[in-house]
Structure 1
Amino acid sequence: MSSYVFPDVPTHTGNGIDVSKTHKACKNIVENLRDSKMDDAHKVYVRSMDQATTTPVKGEVDGEIPLWLEGNLFRNGPGVLNIGDTWYNHLFDGMAVLHKFTIKGGEAFYRSRILESDTYKKNTAANRIVIDEFGTRAYPDPCKTILQRFMSKFSGLQLDSPDVSDNCSVSMCYFSDQLFAMTETSLMRRVDPETLHTVGGRTNITNYVAVNMATAHPHVDPDGTVYNMGTSFTGNKGPTYNIIKFPPKKTLPDVVVKFHVIRRSDGQLLETKYEADTFFFFHSINAYEEDGQIVIDLCCFDDGAVVNQIWLENITNPTETFNKAIQATPRRFVLPLNPQKSPAGTNLVTLPGTKCRSTRNAKGVVHCHSQDLSQDLMEMPRINYRFNGKKYRYGYGFIPTKGLNCGTLCKVDAETGETRKWKMPGFQVSEPVFVERPGATEEDDGALIASLVNEKEQKECCFYTGWVHYTFKPVRTYEFRYMYERDRRPIPGSLFTASRPPS
């Protein structure tokens, strides 16, 4: 195990908690941070980054990383939770921090950088939050005159206004050969994939396609074509959903289609209307067509209460209502494509082995009854991406337990319902990524990688790599970690035991 000596790291305001110097609107959050008896797993979510690691550091490898496992893993998320003495109120709101893991030749390296957004620059210049976010209202900008502040209350906020946040803190995606940080608005920020520096100004997709907002979770075809879903509020027909297609080149055409069920072959909207019991979801697992039926797998919440529960104040003092609201279940729906050929009221789902049901009423509307794919919860789902849009068997994610305690990786078998789990006490896991072994013939023949957060040691970053073929036990585990030293004394510790994978 090795450690690294860094220059003196300045203490971020948020970690030196002082209620007397805290903005009055933030006192409840800061008091909870100081006095709360919340467990270590939840304390992870209220850390505010001290300093980014802009120079790559080499990790100590415990075991052996396969030589075929090579490339870059980019991660993104809200990592700066306070500016000066003002705090963000909601988990979605913190300033974006970009992370890059580089794996090459059996070695691993790490670097990070705060996204250099206009929002971050304005906030830090004012030393307080001056741009609104999803759940946080801005505090007055000391750089503005009283008249400017007064007039801003009467100015209609435009989506391309500089006062709209470009804090792209949700995901990262390549469009052709350009890497972008994304969020759930129309704004994206281009990022240098080597240094993580922000390149150029804001990119507003409204300038290229007729949408006002788009999701931060696009899908990418093998040829580089990017598909995403957007919404439009200003069209002649009123609010609409739109499917956006970005060809694998730098020009972004104006291509939209309304969304119900759309054939990819010709872009035609199906006339059949499909309904289901109310649910809410952030992330889809996969979808594919089989025997004239569409199979859709999602991580479903029973309702949308999760959005109104993940305020930082609730995370610092979680309740049973909070714990229940953030429980997502892997769930399957089956949509028959030709329901008109069957009598009303009969089950139209004919796929073997599924408990899903779909019935058509007299008006031709098909109601879809779902099936849970596992008895366990699951969020942040991933699959072997070679099976994206195709029939698949295995999904990977993490299992939230006791609120936002996300310390368990999981592998869900969509055929049998069996769920295999892996966890390391004292660590929170990220969304996993499956990397298929070259020459693999089985869907799950490969490695699962995920970054880990040490619940107690803030100055540590590491990731887990494990074989998942046939079993989810850590028959071969690899570790990359880097740590700050304190007073030049290494921080001791070791995570995993390495052993041989099955032959």
Structure 2
Amino acid sequence: MPSAPYALGLTTANEHPESRALPVRGTLPPWLRGTLVRNGPGRFEVEDEAYNHWFDGLALLHAFTITEAGVSYRSRFLQSSAYTEAEAEGRITQSAFATDPCRSLFERVMTVFRPQLTDNANVSIHRLAGDWVALTETPLPVRFDPHTLDTLGVVDYDDTLSGPLTTAHPHRLPDGTLYSYVVDFSKPTSTYRLYRLDAATATRKELGTHAVRRPSYMHSFAMTGRYLALVAFPLVLDPLDVLLSGKPFIENFEWQPERGTQIHVFERDTGTHVTTVPTDPMFAFHHINAFDDGDALCIDLASYPDATIVDRMYLDALRSGWDDVEMARPERLRVNLKQHTATHERLSDTGIEVPRIHYAACNGQPYRYVYGTGNRTPGNFTDELVKIDMTTGNAQHWHADGCFPSEPIFAAAPRSTAEDEGVVLSVVLDTEAERSFLLVLDAESFTEIARAPAPQAIPLSFHGQFLDADAPLQDLHR
């Protein structure tokens, strides 16, 4: 099987728990002080058992800390029970997104009555209940120390809100209030449960619910000043299949385009269901932003025509090359709340994934710029960074031979007034040097101003946060 040029980023890495000083090429802005913490899969096998999907790998946290003295790096595996049990038993012990461990007949029967949720929180980083946590799509956030990356244990919610599936992309208000949802599987109907979590508390308050017969796989959702919206794509399941099929989680979902996409809209403050608007079939992992526009709700996503991308993320397929998959494109769903209709508009022909905006200033508001990874050369997965002007569709690009960047994260300059006044941070895999580096771009010109090589090749990761050393904790948003 041919190997993709970025396959080095899909191999198991060693952790570096002790801080290491890194050389810096270029000039860092004097105001840039803080820590970029990133999360993603860093181990893809346990002895002779391999995980099937990129989303299954065991979580590895990385931290690049920027001070007056320069840049330092450390990394640690998240000490989840999924990780510690695998280490102790020498095998995969917990079910994952697309991997189901070999279990005895008795163990399989017992999981029907007591489903096990993985705490392998390998997707994102957020502030929750007064702590920094690693998140995945099960409601088991894992606390960690952002300075040492030590694992501190699973958050123990002080409520009875039920549902085994959630999002690793909650939304936050400037005061730290968090909004999210869980999906409660049941027959004959399952339930989407939206909730609010006040800052520094562990009690989720249910806001509203919506019953569906076949719940959708949704990786993220939308929030504006007035509304919450769940865009339910036609990748759906029968809840009984999860318990009885014996298949890994995602393999129970079926693409049923004839169902179309259902946009469920709720009032943000009360959770009241406003409307459900049908529209054409589509799929997306990531929302870009959303905002109110009179009687309309605008929802921007990194959109695919179907859910083929989920299968192309299986490790065997991903490691062999990506030339038969088209990159997501920025698309706007304009939902007319009076007429209960929705239209689609492509905002740019530039491909984009893991999109990020100036969240603190623009989330839930009209905005102009989005940053993300792109695909310059067919088969090269994500081999460039892009900045798209959502008002014109024009794009700026950064790329370098043999380099594969991760999600770009915007950090605003102090007292900035322009939406793109600051820097963009990304961790880039350099396959020629067989190591990764921290890349710093000027956000306005989208040109490189500095880089700091890490001591190893860092596996391609999913999401992260820049923890500004001078910012109040409540101002640190996705």
Q: TM-score range by the shorter chain?
A: 0.7 to 0.9
Give the letter for the 1:479 counterpart: R
* Higher strand fraction (1 or 2): 2
Percent identity of equivalent pairs: 30
Residue 435 in structure 1 maps to residue 411 in structure 2:
yes
Q: CA deviation at 1:404?
A: 5.3
2:300 pairs with 1:297: yes
Q: Tell me which residue corresponds to 1:177.
A: 130
Alignment match of 2:367 (pick from 371, 392, 395): 392
Question: In the alignment, is residue 44 of structure 1 matched against residue 8 of structure 2?
Answer: yes
Is the contact between residue 169 and residue 181 of structure 1 (CA under 8 Å) also seen in structure 2? yes
Task: Specify the SS of the correspondent of 2:199.
Answer: coil
1:413 aligned partner? 389
Letter of the aligned partner of 1:173 in structure 2?
H
Question: Is residue 2:73 matched to residue 1:110?
Answer: yes
Give 1:265 shift: 4.3
Q: What letter is aligned with 2:106?
A: M
Select the structure with the greater relative contact order (CA < 8 A; seq sep ≥ 6).
2
Deviates more, 1:149-158 or 1:369-378: 149-158
The one-letter amino acid paired with 2:176 is G
**Structure 2 partner of 1:378:** 352
Q: Match for 1:333: what amino acid?
A: L
Deviation at 1:208, TM superposition (A): 4.3
For the residues of structure 2 that align with 1:373 and 1:229, how far apart are their CA atoms? Answer: 28
In the alignment, is the contact (CA less than 8 A) between 2:331 and 2:344 conserved in 1? Answer: yes
CA-based RMSD: 2.3
Counterpart pick for 1:261 among 261, 265, 268? 265
Corresponding pairs, count: 402
Secondary structure in 1 matching 2:310 = helix
Amino acid of the structure 1 residue aligned with 2:370: G
Letter in 2 for 1:313: D
**Alignment-derived partner of residue 155 in structure 1:** 110
The offset of 1:285, in angstroms, is: 0.5
Q: Could you say which structure has the larger radius of gyration?
A: 1
Q: Distance in 1 between matches of 2:160 and 2:8?
A: 38
Cα 1:257–1:403, aligned 2, differ >3 Å: closer, same or farther? Answer: farther
Q: Tell me which residue corresponds to 2:462.
A: none
TM, length-normalised to structure 1 = 0.75
How many angstroms apart in 2 are the aligned matches of 1:160 and 1:187? Answer: 14
Question: Cα–Cα, structure 1 residues 206 and 426, in superposed 2: closer, same or farther, change >3 Å?
Answer: farther
Contact 1:66–1:106 (8 Å) recurs in 2: no
Q: Is the 8 A contact 1:412 1:419 kept in 2?
A: yes
User: Residue 85 of structure 2 aligns to a residue in which SS?
Assistant: helix
Paired residue type of 2:161: V
Mapped partners of 1:158, 1:105: distance in 2: 55
Q: Which residue of 2 aligns with 1:247?
A: 198
**CA–CA separation in structure 1 for the residues paired with 2:112 and 2:37:** 32
Long gaps (5+) in structure 2: 210-229, 231-263, 458-478
Distance 2:396 2:380 in 1: 20
Q: CA deviation at 1:122?
A: 1.4
Q: 1:403 deviation in Å?
A: 4.1
How is 1:174-323 mapped onto 2 (pairs within 5 angstroms)?
174-200=127-153, 202-203=154-155, 207-234=159-186, 238-258=189-209, 260-270=264-274, 272-318=275-321, 323=324
Shift of 1:203: 3.4
Give the 3 Å change call, closer, same or farther, for CA 204–312 of structure 1 in structure 2.
farther
C-alpha contact 1:54 1:111 (8 A) present in aligned 2: yes
1:187-240 deviation line (CA, Å, top 9, x unaligned) = 22111222111113x3365954233321111112111111112211249x8212
Contact 2:40 2:122 in 1 (8 A): yes
Deviation at 1:156, TM superposition (A): 3.3
User: Any idea what the Cα deviations from partners look like across 1:217-272, whole Å, max 9, x if unmatched?
Assistant: 1112111111112211249x8212122211002231332313521222444321x4
Whether the aligned pair in 2 keeps the contact of 1:213 and 1:231 (CA below 8 Å) is yes
Q: Which residue of 1 aligns with 2:217?
A: none
Structure 1 residues 46-68: Cα deviation after superposition (integer angstroms, max 9, x where no partner): 3111x201001111121221121
Letter in 2 for 1:46: L
**Cα distance in 2 between the residues matched to 1:44 and 1:158:** 40
What is the distance in 2 between the residues matched to 1:204 and 1:302?
38
Normalised to the residue count of structure 2, the TM-score between the two structures is 0.79
Q: CA deviation at 1:72?
A: 1.7
Output the CA distance in 2 between the equivalents of 1:372 and 1:263. Answer: 26
Q: Secondary structure at the match of 2:318?
A: helix
